[in-house]
Amino acid sequence: MSLNLCHPTMRRPTSGCGRFVRRREMIRVTASLASARRSVRSGAPTNPGAPTNPGGAAPGESRWGDRPLPAYNPALVRSTLEPVDENKVKLSVEVGEEEVEEAVDRAWKAIAKEVRVPGFRQGKAPRKVLEARLDPGLARSEALRDAVPDYYVKALRDHDVDAIAAPEIDITAGEESGPVAFDAVVEVRPEIDVPGYDSIEVVIPSPEPDEAAVDEQIERLRSQYAELEVADRPALAGDHVTIDIQGTQDGEPLDGLTADDYMYEVGAGSILPEIDHQLSGSKVGDILVFQAEHPDEDEEPIDFRILVKEVKEKVLPELDDEWAAEASEFETVEELKADLRARLGRIRRGAGQMAVREKMGEALAALVGDNDVPEALIQSEMQNRLHEMSHRLGAQGIGLEQYLAATGNSPEQFKDELRDAGVLAAKVDLALRSVARVEALEVLEADIDEEVGHAASHLGRDVTELREEFEHAQQLQAIRSDISKRKALDWLLERVRIVDEEGNVVDYADLVVEGHEHEALATGDETADETAEPGSAERLDSDEQDTDENHEQDDQA
C-alpha cells in the first residue's frame, strides 16, 4: 500500500501529500484493524493476503494524538544530509533495531485498544496473544506508518532543513525486520539574491488633506442637516420626489416595486438607473410609463408606471458658528474644520502607510524572477490564504460559494486571483529573507521573548507556559523567521524613497499611525480606504475605526 505523509513542518498540511516509495514492494498491511477486530472476536484467523488500508491518523498527524516526538537515543537514530539538485536535499536516516522495537511495541498497544479478544478486557490483551491471532507484520507496518514521519521530522530539525513541500520517502531497509533505513528527498526554500532592494522608490497619494477635502466633509455634514422645501420646478439630481410607483411583469405587480406616496431621492440609484433617468427633469403631475431591464439578465424586463406628486429640494443650513455648534461639539466653523482636517490627516496617513507597504511588496516581487519561486511555495501560500479566507468567511456565516456569488467572481477568476496573491507573497517572502541574510539582521533571544510576550498578552496566557508550548510544538523557528522578515522590512522602510503623486518627498515616519508601527508587508490581499466619507463628525470617527480594523486584520494575517 502507499502511505500518505503530509508536510509535518507546515502550520497546516500542504496541498500535496508525499508517498512512501519502495525500491522493492510497498509495505502491505495484511489485515486492517476493522477486519482484525471481526476476526479476533470470532476466533478466526485473518486472511494474510487481503490488501487493506488501516486508518488511525490524519495525514501528517501522529497515531497517538498530540504526543511529543519520542526522546530518541542519538546512537539509535542517525541521519546525514546531502544536496540532490538546486532546491532539493536528501536525508538518509538509520534507526536502530532497539528503537524500532519500541515503536512496534507502541503499535501493538494501540492495536490492542482497537480489537476485542475473548477472555481479555478491551485494550488489555497481551502482545503475544495478539501476535498469535493477527498477522505479526501488522504492528510493524503500523509502527513504520506512524514512526517514520517522526524520524523524518527529527532529521529535519537536526539538520535545520527549511522544507517547503512533502517529502518522497524511500525505505531501503527494515520493512520486515531489523534496523530501519530510509531516504527522504524534499524540496527546500531557495536562497536568492535580490539586486536593487536598497534603491526602491514608491509613489503614493498625498497623505495631507487639502482644503477641498475638508470642504467636501463640511458639505456632507451640512447635507445631513438640510431641510426639504417644496420646489416649483422640474426635479433635479438630489431632489426628493413623492411618487406613486408600480412595477409589473406580464401585468402582475412586483413585490417591493409597488407603493403609493413613496419618497425617492433623484440620482441616488437605489432602485434601477432607468428610474433616476426618467425622474430627472420630471414635473408634478407627470405620469412616466417606461420599461427597464431587470438586474437579473435571465429575467424579463420590468414595466413601470410612476406618478410624480411632489418635488422637494434640499435647503442647506447656513455655514456659520450657530450651525457648527448644533452639528458638532465645537463652537465655531473654524474649530470644526480644524478637527475634520486632523481626522482626515490621520486617515490619509494610515492609508499612506498601507500604500507604502503595498507598493514595497510589489517592488520587491518585481526584483524576484519567476524561475526563482518554487511551485511548492506558491501552492503553500495559496493554501494559507484560502484557509484564512475560509476562516474569516465562516466566522460571518458565509460559505465560499456565497462569497463568489456576492462578488460576481467565477471559480476560475477566484483561482487566478488566489494564485496571483500566492505568487506575490512567495516572492516577497524570498526577498525579505534575502535582505535579512545579506544585511546580517540578527534575531536575538530578547526579540523572541518580546514576541512571545505580545502573544501571551493578546491571548491572556502565562508567558512561560506559552513559550513552553511553542518549544514543544517546534514553532520557535517559525517565530524567528517572522521576526527576521519584519526586521528586513523595517530596514527597507528606513531606506525606501517615498514620493507623492506630485513628486514631493514623504517621510515614512510621518505616516506611522500610533499603535501600528510593526505591521506585516501588504502582499496582495489587503485593501486601504484612502478617502474618508463621513456624513458627520461621528461618521468620521467610524471611518477611523474602520481603518484601525484594517490594520488589525493585517496584524493577524
Closest CA to 339 of 540, 507, 160: 540
Q: Is residue 420 in a domain?
A: yes
Domain extent for 424:
333-556
Classified as helix, coil or strand, 322 is: helix
- Please provide the distance, in angstroms rounded to a whole number, between the alpha carbons at the two ends of the chain: 39
Residues 366 and 368: their CA atoms lie apart, in Å, by 5
Q: Is residue 211 in a domain?
A: no
- Bridge-based pairing of strands 4-5 and 18-22 is antiparallel
Q: Is residue 405 in a domain?
A: yes
Axis crossing angle, helix 476-493 with helix 411-438, rounded to the nearest 10: 80
Residues 186 and 9: their CA atoms lie apart, in Å, by 12
Do 339 and 300 lie in one domain? The reply is: no
Q: What is the CATH number of the domain that holds 366?
A: 1.10.3120.10
Q: Is residue 126 in a domain?
A: yes
Residues 371 and 147: their CA atoms lie apart, in Å, by 36
Q: In the prediction, which pLDDT does 412 show?
A: 92
Q: In the prediction, which pLDDT does 113 show?
A: 72
Q: In the prediction, which pLDDT does 38 show?
A: 32
Do 311 and 355 lie in one domain? The reply is: no
> Grid coordinates representing 471?
518549544
Do 73 and 11 lie in one domain? The reply is: yes
Q: In the prediction, which pLDDT does 69 show?
A: 56
Q: Is residue 199 in a domain?
A: no
Return the exposure string of 29-55: e unless at least 16 CB atoms fall within 10 Å of the residue's CB, then b.
bbbbbebbbebbeeeeebeeeeebebe
Q: In the prediction, which pLDDT does 41 show?
A: 34
Do 421 and 347 lie in one domain? The reply is: yes
Local confidence pLDDT in tens for the 557 residues of the chain: 333 444 333 333 333 344 333 322 222 222 233 333 333 333 333 333 332 332 333 333 333 233 355 566 666 888 999 999 888 999 999 988 888 888 877 877 777 676 777 767 666 667 766 666 666 777 788 888 888 888 898 899 889 899 999 999 999 998 888 899 999 999 999 999 999 999 999 999 999 888 999 999 999 999 999 999 999 999 999 999 999 999 999 989 998 899 999 999 999 998 999 999 999 999 999 999 999 998 888 889 999 999 999 999 999 999 999 999 999 999 999 999 999 999 999 999 999 999 999 999 999 999 999 999 999 999 999 999 999 999 999 999 999 999 998 888 899 999 999 999 999 999 999 999 999 999 999 999 999 999 999 999 999 999 999 999 888 777 888 899 999 999 999 999 999 999 999 999 999 988 986 655 445 554 544 433 433 433 334 444 444 444 444 444 344 33
Residues 107 and 308: their CA atoms lie apart, in Å, by 83
Do 305 and 424 lie in one domain? The reply is: no
Choosing from 169, 187, 205, the residue where a domain stops is: 187
Count of C-beta atoms within a 10 Å radius of residue 421: 19
Count of domains forming the chain: 3
β-bridge partners, 278: none
Residues 145 and 150: their CA atoms lie apart, in Å, by 10
Work out the burial of residue 187: count CB atoms within 10 Å of its CB; fewer than 13 is exposed, 13-18 middle, 19 or more buried. Answer: buried
Choosing from 315, 350, 372, the residue where a domain stops is: 315
Q: What is the CATH number of the domain that holds 16?
A: 3.30.70.1050
Residues 421 and 386: their CA atoms lie apart, in Å, by 11
CB of 43 closer than 8 Å to CB of 118: yes
β-bridge partners, 65: 62
Do 275 and 394 lie in one domain? The reply is: no
Do 387 and 239 lie in one domain? The reply is: no
Quick one: how far is CA 493 from the chain centroid? 24
Do 307 and 371 lie in one domain? The reply is: no
Do 283 and 350 lie in one domain? The reply is: no
Do 355 and 277 lie in one domain? The reply is: no
Choosing from 159, 187, 215, the residue where a domain stops is: 187
Q: Is residue 537 in a domain?
A: yes
Closest CA to 100 of 136, 138, 72: 72
Q: In the prediction, which pLDDT does 309 show?
A: 98
Q: What is the CATH number of the domain that holds 270?
A: 3.10.50.40
CB of 243 closer than 8 Å to CB of 235: no
Classified as helix, coil or strand, 127 is: helix
Do 382 and 266 lie in one domain? The reply is: no
Rounded alpha-carbon distances, angstroms, from residue 11 to 158, 380, 473: 19, 10, 10
Q: In the prediction, which pLDDT does 202 show?
A: 95
Do 471 and 398 lie in one domain? The reply is: yes
Residues 107 and 131: their CA atoms lie apart, in Å, by 12
Q: Is residue 134 in a domain?
A: yes
Q: In the prediction, which pLDDT does 475 show?
A: 84
